Structure 1
């Protein structure tokens, strides 16, 4: 049969010549048909550009041949996960949805062709239909239908979904059986809003990945429109069902409307530079228009939230319950200043003893309520029954050892702050006119006395034997402000270490400094290891102060700032500029899962005004401001790469003949040894992946989505540092590999190293106190504190340690944060559907996975090598924080894909 002749008239309407035979044109039976042009359609139907579906709502009527009438039956199976939402709603709305399920009008699907219509040059009309509920199991519901798909439809490139329930639903996947190319499974794993909340349809692309320039013609408009929707318009308060990604400053940490004491400075901007967080659009505070009102929940794009599908949601709920319910109640029972009177009461916190400390019970009702709480916790919940941390289980007195103090700087909770000493004497870089003499009080005589028999100071520096943990310049400007707060104190600190012949670090001296009243001089005191009683206890108190500084820096910088906080702009930019079908989006997506959810929870109860950090860590209300100073003065994207970080700190030098191209300054440096193997494996996997999709070297520079992504990360997400010269350029495949490897390392390896050892190393808080509450005692017989120290030095140390409520808060939180869920997704174990469907990418992933299994064996071998004293010795916990896999619970090992807890 001959094709009909199509002509165009002056009024911009295509006309089809009449023929004596009838034809069916996309469902319109007529001897002839009209094909409307887009301009006229938009005028007639008033379709607004910017809403997904504006194009395929056009009426496209064309005459077809007999061959084009042929079709195949495609069976469609939709799997919906049983979660909150549509299956846990009110009786009335649930009844309505049961009716729509019964009549088969609850979920509408549309198939989208990858091809354009060859006759019109426009997108083909979608194939629409409802799926009908056919089966329900314990955890999921199946919906099915059959579509008649013309053979001329071409390859299915995407599906559109409309949820006609009254509540959202969690769509797991859609499977098409019978398409010409073979069974097609589209993984969704996404919340689908109700059409009654938002009439826009959801789009899901197939597993095939495309660079923007390679996008099939029939999908280009859909790719662009989806990104437009995800960006939003920057206005209005966000709703819980929305998926809009936008930026804002940290202006919601305080609560000035509740109390003037809870007002906090805005983080982000010229005054206090900071990364950006997700915009919520909440109203501004009455007392401080610069601050955003707090609410009972914080908006995040819907698919960034933990779903009931994920076991990790249970940990998040535990943390939420702990922060919002249990700890506030306990705080009413326990005075903030109540300290542990003897060390045995600290031991009673663990499961072999009582699970709550003894309290100063001031009245009958308080005592009665306390006993009730104890009874409930012992029989029904497990929040405050603490497991014994591994180091304490191996050696009850591990925390007292100077060797363990040095070992943990290389293989503990914060192994990324030690620096090589390259100049002597140690000097401050602060303004001498403001902070006094910059020269350290740790003199050559002190050092040479401590290292006698090894070498002198010049030889020690030349041989790279001296290392420093230096928080002097960071903390000193905060000392006066913090000291005005109740229940805490602060010094600027330096701790000097000496590298012994067996590659262990021996602490030599601790310097604690504070400005005097005129701020032009400092009070500087130096403490050294000692054998006699007075010097020994002063040394222990000095260590408690340094450990509080290191613990605060770990939590605020190494953990929060470098991983959680700095990653959020990457998540936002990725969703705003990289289509879900972009290969780099699909490479990064598993590394961003649930990060925004845990960050939002942190803003609710951990880093907020009077939250766990402020109430339990040394800087108190200045904690977040301190992290802003570190971001402003120290953070650089290029130094987040492990090799660059090691070189910057003097812990390694470039050496083309050494493994990884680096020679470590300390050979037995567990964090660096294991980390570099993991870094190399990640980089090779990223290199293979990038090379596969960017065959032409010029494709990186011409990739408009990729370039917009990197531009927005630098100029908006980290906009306060947009003019820094150290930002990498993104012109070549090598540039892209380095950038992606750095992001993947931070979200997986670095986060694992500073997170999953928290309970093991800080659960027994004398090992890593979060706060030092008292000053170092002065050698003055008339001073009551000195008298107490001389008579009962153990009590003086306990008074310096965290109080009972502070210890309980931190231990409870760390127990949850260190916990792996039963269904944790570990690096290299779980393959993404889009990776699995591409044979070349799948093969590269299998190589990556094999390298990680090999790394596990290497780590096990290192931990049994008696020559490696920093990871294998009597009572020493082996270093496993970068061991890729783990079981559930607090294991001290395992590297998940993402920052999800």
Structure 2
């Protein structure tokens, strides 16, 4: 089945694979340091950032050689069992230089497939990652297909080592059609993909899985720790079938077998924070630590003219959004030259630091937050508007 191409009569299909290596600004890395102290967090971030610089060179070459493989799947020709023909395994060949950007560095690679008319038009491909680290597969494009121009694949999915999956990852072209109009050679592969996404409702969910099965909210309490922490199960009854959550498959509690032990909440990998969002999350998270960072700068580096841990006037509050807090630029260069710090310590003239985006409520008027109308709006839009009571 894999030797369908005759080298004497085959042509070459050129492909371009765009992917992003695992980034240190991944959301899992952010949450892994949430319990550390301020100095540990800052040190961990700088260490991680240093890894980015050291990994830029290695990252672009780690996918070459025999590390990432693909096989074409025909959408028009079938084998004896009725499945779409599968081509030979082909590996990424050449790195195509791209412009790296913080949090969303994309790398492009070329790949070539042998093709002949007996194979037909590719409508899908199988994908294997032989590297130890996962990466984000952005897109794949096949060019120079005789009488068909190009075929586009928008993937946008994390791909882990092939041993993490029961079957190879399969991606389908961007062609749209009704279920009944699915090309016959691709029906089997579509059904297998659907089975993978639905899961079988058993087992503990793993980080690399792409399973979308659901369960009731039976993990809100922790009766094993304290009887007072027991909570009723939400959803699942004939009267109230919802709400539902993505199933995690954790072990049941000892005192209440119908409840799950609290633990890591499973989120399908492709639904987790992407590079850009996790970069923004980390950047603004660090900025929110300013109440601890600024006193640290004050005591260790230089003297700031305000009371630590509190504001002396409304003007100092507005300075966070309008002028920022001044910090000599030479200190930033001593800390790190990396672009992430240029965003964290965002500057316009080389001297401003910790400049927050202004809240919408004061963009039009600086005193808008003091009005009764705004106070009422914030109460209604708050976490518990039911606490509002009529004055008597």
- Aligned partners of 1:393, 1:261: CA distance in 2, in Å? 48
1:144–1:217 distance in 2 versus 1, CA, 3 Å: same
SS of 1:77's equivalent?
strand
1:78 corresponds to which residue?
17
1:232 is aligned to 199
Tell me how far 1:380 sits from its aligned partner.
Answer: 6.8
Q: Deviations over 1:51-91 (max 9, x none)?
A: xxxxxxxxxx8xx9x9x963211112211124428x9899x
Deviations 1:225-276 (A, max 9, x none): 1001111111111111110001112233444555555544322133765321
Q: 1:216 aligns with which of 183, 192, 195?
A: 183
Structure 1 Cα separation of the partners of residues 216 and 11 of structure 2: 53
Tell me the equivalent position of 1:282.
250
User: Residue in 2 aligned with 1:390?
Assistant: 362
Q: Which residue number corresponds to residue 816 of structure 1?
A: none
Question: Which residue among 362, 369, 372 is the counterpart of 1:400?
Answer: 372
Say if 1:399 and 1:251 are closer, same or farther in 2 by CA, change over 3 A: farther
Q: Aligned-pair distance for 1:278?
A: 0.9
Alpha-carbon spacing, 1:398–1:176, altered in 2? closer, same or farther (3 Å): same
**Correspondence for 2:89 among 128, 131, 135:** 128
Residue 803 of structure 1 is matched in structure 2 by none
Q: Residues 350 and 388 of structure 1 are in contact (CA less than 8 Å); yes or no, is this contact kept in structure 2?
A: no
Partner of 2:75: 114
**Among residues 66, 77, 99, which one is paired with 1:105 in the alignment?**
66
Shift of 1:386: 6.7
User: Offset at 1:198?
Assistant: 2.5
Q: How does 1:328-367 map to 2 (within 5 A)?
A: 350-352=317-319
SS for the counterpart of 2:318 is: coil
Judge conservation of contact 2:69–2:128 (CA < 8 Å) in 1. yes
Q: How many residues align?
A: 311
Pairing partner for 1:166 from 132, 143, 152: 132
Q: Which moved more, 1:127-136 or 1:200-209?
A: 127-136
Using structure 2 for the length normalisation, give the TM-score.
Answer: 0.64
- Aligned match for 2:217, one of 247, 250, 254: 250
Q: Matched residues in 2 for 1:318 and 1:258: separation?
A: 36
Aligned pair in 2 of structure 1 residues 161, 251: CA closer, same or farther (>3 Å)? same
Deviation at 1:127, TM superposition (A): 3.4
Write out aligned runs for 1:420-569 (5 A).
Answer: 548=379, 550-551=380-381
More strand by proportion, 1 or 2?
2
Contact 1:97 1:106 in 2 (8 A): no
**Does the 8 Å CA contact 1:70/1:151 hold for their aligned counterparts?**
no
* TM-score after normalising by structure 1: 0.30
Query: Does structure 1 residue 241 correspond to structure 2 residue 208?
Result: yes
Deviations 1:508-528 (A, max 9, x none): xxxxxxxxxxxxxxxxxxxxx
Following the alignment from structure 1 to structure 2, what is the Cα–Cα distance between the partners of residues 281 and 776?
49
Query: Secondary structure at the residue paired with 1:245?
Result: coil
- 1:200 is matched with which residue? 167
Question: What are the within-5 Å matches in structure 2 for residues 573-588 of structure 1?
Answer: none
Q: Is the 8 A contact 1:266 1:272 kept in 2?
A: no
Q: Distance in 1 between matches of 2:314 and 2:229?
A: 34
Match of 1:144 in 2: 110
Could you say which residue in structure 2 is the equivalent of 1:852?
Answer: none
- The answer on whether the counterparts of 2:153 and 2:174 sit within 8 Å (CA) in structure 1 is yes
2:84 is paired with a residue of what secondary structure?
coil
Q: In the alignment, is the contact (CA less than 8 A) between 1:350 and 1:386 conserved in 2?
A: no
CA shift at 1:97, angstroms?
8.9
CA contact (8 A) 2:287 2:354 kept: no
Q: Does 1:153 align with 2:119?
A: yes
Structure 2 counterparts to residues 785-824 of structure 1, below 5 A:
none
For residues 169-188 of structure 1, what are the structure 2 equivalents within 5 Å?
A: 169-180=135-146, 181-188=148-155
Q: Could you tell me whether the CA contact under 8 Å between 1:78 and 1:143 is conserved in 2?
A: yes
1: CA distance, partners of 2:186 / 2:95: 31
Shift of 1:129: 1.0
Structure 1: give runs of 5+ residues left out of the alignment: 1-24, 28-60, 328-343, 355-375, 414-546, 553-612, 620-770, 778-901
Following TM superposition, by how much is the alpha carbon of 1:114 offset from its aligned partner in structure 2, in angstroms? 0.6
Distance 1:345 1:110 in 2: 66
> What does 1:741-820 correspond to in 2, within 5 Å?
771=387
Q: Work out which structure has the larger RCO, using CA pairs closer than 8 Å and 6 or more positions apart in sequence.
A: 2
TM-superposed deviation, 1:175 = 1.7
Give the Cα separation in 1 of the matches to 2:187 and 2:372.
64
The partner residue of 2:272 within 275, 284, 305 is 305
Partners of 1:618 and 1:289 lie apart in 2 by 35
Q: Aligned partners of 2:59 and 2:319: how far apart in 1?
A: 52
CA contact (8 A) 1:77 1:174 kept: yes
For 1:242, what is the secondary structure of its paired residue?
A: coil
Gap change, CA 1:394 and 1:192, over 3 Å in 2: same
Contact 1:251 1:290 (C-alpha < 8 Å) held by counterparts? yes
2:353, 2:209 → 1: CA distance? 37
Deviation at 1:110, TM superposition (A): 0.6
Q: Equivalent residue of 2:110, what SS?
A: strand
Supply the distance in 1 between the matched residues of 2:318 and 2:182 (Cα, whole angstroms).
59
Query: Closer, same or farther in 2 for the Cα pair 1:287/1:399, shift >3 Å?
Result: farther
The 1:393–1:95 alpha-carbon spacing in structure 2 relative to 1, beyond 3 Å, is closer
| 1:176 CA displacement | 1.4
Deviation at 1:294, TM superposition (A): 2.9
Shift of 1:197: 2.5
Structural mapping, 1:631-646, within 5 Å: none
